[in-house]
């Protein structure tokens, strides 16, 4: 079984990455700039980093990875805004993807807060 399966935030991040990849794959070839590549990599790294963190033994290690995933979520939001500014995304598509990224950010923030309150042994 995948170590992150069952973590709703991992599932949300995976769906976000799939949505971003599918959306940008429909852009005309001439509009695929490095910015789009950065967006895809940032979105992909959220779920990957959550998965890596979920396999760590200690809460402190998990938190380190979840904080990195949170930073990748912020990076994804930044790249989405830049894609909107560069007219690579319509406002409707931007808002859909940004909302999805914001929801993922909030879920991850809640998980971090929950784990930061945990004082037990290794899990």
**Can you give the C-alpha Rg of the chain in angstroms?**
15
Q: pLDDT at position 27, please?
A: 81
Q: Where are the domains of the chain?
A: 8-116
Convert the pLDDT of each residue in 22-32 to its tens digit.
999 888 776 66
Angle among Cα 20, 23, 26 to the nearest 5 degrees reads 145
C-beta of residue 16 within 8 angstroms of C-beta of residue 101: yes
For the segment(s) 8-116, the CATH number from 1.20.1440.60, 3.40.309.10, 1.10.150.120, 3.40.50.300 is: 1.20.1440.60
pLDDT in tens, the chain (123 residues): 455 667 899 999 999 999 999 999 888 776 667 889 999 999 999 999 999 998 888 999 999 999 999 999 999 999 999 999 999 999 999 999 999 999 999 999 999 999 998 655 554
Q: What pLDDT score does 1 carry?
A: 47
């Amino acid at each position: 079984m995948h170590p992150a399966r069952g973590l709703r935030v991992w599932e949300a991040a995976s769906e976000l990455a799939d949505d971003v990849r599918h959306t940008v794959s429909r852009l005309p070839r001439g509009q695929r700039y490095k910015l789009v590549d950065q967006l895809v990599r940032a979105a992909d790294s959220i779920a990957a980093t959550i998965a890596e963190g979920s396999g760590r033994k200690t809460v402190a290690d998990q938190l380190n990875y979840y904080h990195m995933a949170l930073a990748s979520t912020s990076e994804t939001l930044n790249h989405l805004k830049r894609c909107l500014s560069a007219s690579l995304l319509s406002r409707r598509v931007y808002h859909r993807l940004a909302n999805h990224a914001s929801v993922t950010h909030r879920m991850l923030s809640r998980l971090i807060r929950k784990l930061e309150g945990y004082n037990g042994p290794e899990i």
